[in-house]
Amino acid sequence: MIRRTALAILLGGLTTAFAADEALPKAETILDRYVEVTGGKEAYQKRHTEIATGTVEFAAAGLKGTVTRYSAEPDKNYSTLEIEGVGKIEMGVTGGVAWEKSAMMGARVKSGEEKAQAVRESTMNAPLVWRKLYSKAVTEGVEPVSGEDCYKVVVTPAEGKPETMYFEKKSGLLVKVNTVAVNQMGEIPVDISVSDYKDFSGILTPTKTVQKAGGQEFSITLQSVKVNEEIPADRFEPPAEVKALVDKSAPRAEKK
């Protein structure tokens, strides 16, 4: 902090030096404000299911595709990603099982931190129930993101790596998240930028997501978000290959 302030003075950044002296709001205040500016508690509580559709693009590789995500309370999720020339990727969370299936990697069941992360990301109305998802939240300072001063908030889950969130001071909206993805290849730092908020059934939702991880970058653009549509229960059922893996890993009853 001392080095940062000294540099700001050397560069004539008096506004930055002044911001450093401002009292920082508590993380709870910033996270609760996000709920309010995106629609409010009551609007979130009215949402029980969600169907989101959009497009995905790997610009550097010239690949495009579509994404569809089905969600239901409390943390049911089924998502499909279909990319030209690559095929279909499915993933989901239901009944305490987090899984993934693709033509390239086959089917697998997630465990440990990867499973915990998948469940958090599948939680319906996550901004409203952030206290259940994270055991600790701390405001660590103010940093610019795309020219806008943002509060830097670090949240820590009961299981898994901390996540750093950036909320604009003026609007209260979330614009960036830094985290670490855990999967079968290890731990991968992930940088996520969100923008282009639009109102879907009373809740402002970012429709543009740009994710950078492992030297790759892709973007997702949401085109439609339907709320409280009826979703068949079997939509969240894992594929047969995943069920077979779950049955195989389940402890066998002792023979009598």
> Is the CB of residue 197 less than 8 Å from the CB of residue 208?
no
> Is the CB of residue 191 less than 8 Å from the CB of residue 164?
no
Q: How confident is the model at residue 251 (pLDDT cuts 50, 70, 90)?
A: low
CA nearest neighbour of 100 among 112, 111, 114, 89? 89
What is the Cα 175 distance to its own chain's centre? Answer: 12
pLDDT at site 22: 64
**Distance, first Cα to last Cα, the chain:** 66
Of 7-11, 221-225, 229-233, give the lowest mean pLDDT range: 7-11
- Rounded to the nearest 10°, the torsion over CA 8, 13, 14, 16 is -70
What's the CA angle centered on 236, arms 235 and 239, to 5 degrees?
90
pLDDT at site 17: 40
pLDDT at site 252: 54
Q: What's the mean per-residue pLDDT of the chain?
A: 89
Boundaries of every domain in the chain: 26-245
pLDDT in tens, 61-93: 899 999 999 999 999 999 999 998 889 999 999
Q: How confident is the model at residue 202 (pLDDT cuts 50, 70, 90)?
A: very high
> Is the CB of residue 198 less than 8 Å from the CB of residue 207?
yes
Q: Which CATH architecture has domain 26-245?
A: Clam (2.50)
Res 250 pLDDT > 80: no
pLDDT at site 12: 39
pLDDT in tens, 20-46: 446 899 999 999 999 999 999 999 999
Hey, how many other C-beta atoms are within 10 angstroms of the C-beta on 256?
3
Res 210 pLDDT > 60: yes
| Residue 199 Cα distances to 46, 167, 187, 207, 219, angstroms | 15, 18, 34, 10, 20
pLDDT at site 93: 97
CA nearest neighbour of 186 among 214, 210, 216? 214
Coil, strand, or helix at residue 62? coil
| Dihedral (CA of 18, 23, 26, 31) sign | negative
- Rounded to the nearest 10°, the torsion over CA 91, 217, 178, 112 is 30
Res 10 pLDDT > 70: no
SS3 string, 120-187, reads HHHCCCCCCCHHHHCCEEEEEEEEEECCEEEEEEEEECCCCCCEEEEEECCCCCEEEEEEEEEECCEE
Hey, how many other C-beta atoms are within 10 angstroms of the C-beta on 165?
23
pLDDT in tens, 141-187: 999 999 999 999 999 999 999 999 999 999 999 999 999 998 877 89
pLDDT at site 6: 42
pLDDT in tens, 92-147: 999 889 999 998 889 999 999 999 999 999 999 999 999 999 999 999 999 999 99
Q: What percent of the chain has pLDDT over 90?
A: 78
What is the Cα 252 distance to its own chain's centre? Answer: 35
CA nearest neighbour of 151 among 43, 7, 37? 37
pLDDT at site 214: 85
Q: How confident is the model at residue 60 (pLDDT cuts 50, 70, 90)?
A: confident
Check: pTM over 0.95? Answer yes or no.
no
